[in-house]
């Protein structure tokens, strides 16, 4: 266990992002510690700490269990806040490696010059400032899981060295002579398009294929809105219900379900916490709605006439509904409870055209 190991790299003991310490203790364990907790249990609408009843999340749960049952490298792909780190921890804790360490590394937060020593460790005196021998992340992950968060940020030089270590060729700490061959499994995460990085020459193809054995896509929250009430209630219960905390009313839940959540589950979690603490719904963009109804468009009331304000709001609602229904106009009209032709007319009036088209929309 390296929780008390003075040789451990400092960053390994910190939360992967370095910015969300509250998440570090989510499992009740210091980050990067030996995974001695009980394996996460699968229930109808959750897998351990991961909540989700939607078919998309049930599929993710299946893939997590599949990944846990084998030892292949995994890459978790999804927008920020979709639960990639939570999924990585679940894979580790469900796997045969759970007695080993889960070592989270935020590849985007390590300065290029420190990368090698952080990953491979160094010997005392290897460079000025190397006052003691120090283990690297690969040593710490021996028998466990190396979580490479923001894997797309690893430079090509380190990719070559990592690849060799992954392939069993081992590595030598800086200033050392011995070759080490720790046994670890890689779970990587990214919110970037790794194939595009390969095409641009930023990610080596051989490294890509080595980590991209079992890809798992974490769907954005706007594509699984049925999970929003479940998640909101989960966060409210976790926040701790005090007598002063306002209830999650059906109207509030409706407003939450209508929001697009660009920051995904993290944004929803923060919005629920803010609501319980401040008693008002405040979407992260700064728009506020005390009544928890749909928020009015930004800038309301700055000398604009009622008609212009209503038109602006209507346009905003149309755009949201169209995006939500992937620009299928039949479905959007049905969702808005208006006739197809009325939707066409309104789109024309507001100059709304589907993405990728500049022509008029009324057809």
Residues 29-58 that bind ligand ATP (CB under 6 A): 49-52
Nearer to Mg ion, 20 or 195 (CB): 20
Q: What are the start-end ranges of the H helices in 126-204?
A: 137-140, 156-166, 194-199
Stretch 235-274: interaction string toward ligand ATP, x if CB under 6 A: ------------------------------xx--x-----
Q: What are the start-end ranges of the H helices in 70-155?
A: 84-94, 112-120, 137-140
Residues in contact with ligand ATP, counted by CB under 6 A, come to a total of: 21
The item of Mg ion, ligand ATP, none sharing an interface with residue 52, based on CB under 5 to 8 Å by kind, is ligand ATP
Q: What is the Cα–Cα distance from 74 to 77, expressed in whole angstroms?
A: 10
Strand partners, 174: 122
Element (H, E) at 190: strand 185-190
Minimum distance from CB of 153 to ligand ATP (Å)?
A: 12
Element (H, E) at 185: strand 185-190
**Residue of this chain nearest to ligand ATP (CB atom):** 83
Give the one residue of 9, 78, 121, 182 binding ligand ATP; rule: CB under 6 A: 78
The CA angle 19-23-27, to the nearest 5 degrees, is 150
DSSP letters, 31-85, are TT-B--SPPPPEETTEETTEE--SHHHHHHHHHHHHHHHS---EEEE--TTSSHH
Minimum distance from CB of 191 to ligand ATP (Å)?
A: 5
Nearer to ligand ATP, 151 or 321 (CB): 151
Minimum distance from CB of 150 to Mg ion (Å)?
A: 8
Nearer to Mg ion, 29 or 245 (CB): 29
Nearest in space to 255 (alpha carbons), one of 278, 277, 281: 281
The item of ligand ATP, Mg ion, none sharing an interface with residue 81, based on CB under 5 to 8 Å by kind, is ligand ATP
Q: What is the Cα–Cα distance from 74 to 64, expressed in whole angstroms?
A: 9
Stretch 311-330: interaction string toward ligand ATP, x if CB under 6 A: --------------------
Binding site for Mg ion (CB under 5 A): 84-85
**Residue of this chain nearest to Mg ion (CB atom):** 85
Neighbouring CB atoms inside 10 A of 244's CB total: 8
Minimum distance from CB of 131 to ligand ATP (Å)?
A: 33
Nearer to ligand ATP, 83 or 173 (CB): 83
Minimum distance from CB of 79 to ligand ATP (Å)?
A: 7
- Is the C-alpha dihedral spanning 168, 169, 174, 178 positive or negative? positive
Strand partners, 215: 75
Q: What is the Cα–Cα distance from 211 to 214, expressed in whole angstroms?
A: 8
Only one of the segments 83-91, 125-133, 311-319, 334-342 lies at the binding site for ligand ATP (rule: CB under 6 A); that segment is 83-91
Interface with ligand ATP, residue 100, by CB under 6 A: no
Q: What is the Cα–Cα distance from 88 to 141, expressed in whole angstroms?
A: 14
Neighbouring CB atoms inside 10 A of 210's CB total: 17
| Residues in contact with ligand ATP by the rule CB under 6 A | 17, 23, 26, 49-52, 78, 80-86, 189, 191, 231, 265-266, 269
């Amino acid at each position: 266990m390296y929780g008390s190991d003075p040789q451990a790299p400092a960053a390994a003991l910190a939360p992967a992002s370095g910015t969300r310490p509250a998440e570090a203790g989510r499992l009740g364990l210091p980050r990067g510690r030996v995974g001695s907790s009980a394996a996460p249990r699968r229930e109808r609408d959750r897998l351990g700490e991961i909540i989700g009843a939607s078919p998309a999340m049930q599929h993710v749960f299946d893939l997590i269990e599949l990944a846990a049952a084998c030892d292949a490298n995994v890459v978790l792909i999804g927008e920020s806040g979709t639960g990639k780190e939570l999924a990585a921890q679940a894979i580790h804790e469900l796997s045969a490696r759970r007695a080993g360490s889960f070592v989270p590394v935020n590849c985007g937060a390590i300065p290029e010059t420190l990368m090698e020593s952080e990953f491979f460790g160094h010997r005392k005196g290897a460079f000025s400032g190397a006052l003691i021998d120090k283990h690297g992340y690969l040593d710490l992950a021996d028998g466990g899981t190396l979580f490479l968060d923001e894997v797309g940020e690893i430079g090509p030089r380190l990719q070559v060295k990592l690849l060799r270590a992954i392939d069993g060729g081992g590595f030598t700490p800086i200033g050392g002579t011995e070759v080490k061959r720790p046994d670890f499994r890689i779970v990587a995460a990214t919110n970037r398009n790794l194939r595009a990085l390969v095409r641009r020459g930023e990610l080596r193809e051989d490294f890509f294929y080595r980590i991209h054995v079992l890809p798992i896509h974490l769907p954005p929250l706007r594509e699984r809105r049925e999970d929003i009430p479940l998640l909101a209630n989960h966060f409210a219960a976790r926040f701790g219900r005090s007598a002063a905390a306002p209830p999650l009313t059906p109207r509030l839940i409706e407003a939450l379900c209508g929001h697009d959540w660009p920051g995904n589950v993290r944004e929803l979690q923060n919005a629920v916490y803010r609501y319980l603490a401040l008693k008002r719904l405040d979407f992260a963009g700064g728009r506020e709605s005390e009544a928890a109804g749909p928020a009015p468009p930004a800038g309301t009331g700055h000398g604009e006439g009622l008609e212009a304000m209503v038109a602006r709001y209507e346009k905003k609602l149309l755009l949201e509904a169209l995006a939500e229904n992937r620009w299928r106009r039949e479905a959007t009209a049905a969702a808005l409870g208006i006739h197809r032709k009325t939707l066409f007319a309104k789109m024309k009036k507001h100059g709304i055209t589907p993405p990728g088209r500049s022509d008029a929309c009324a057809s």
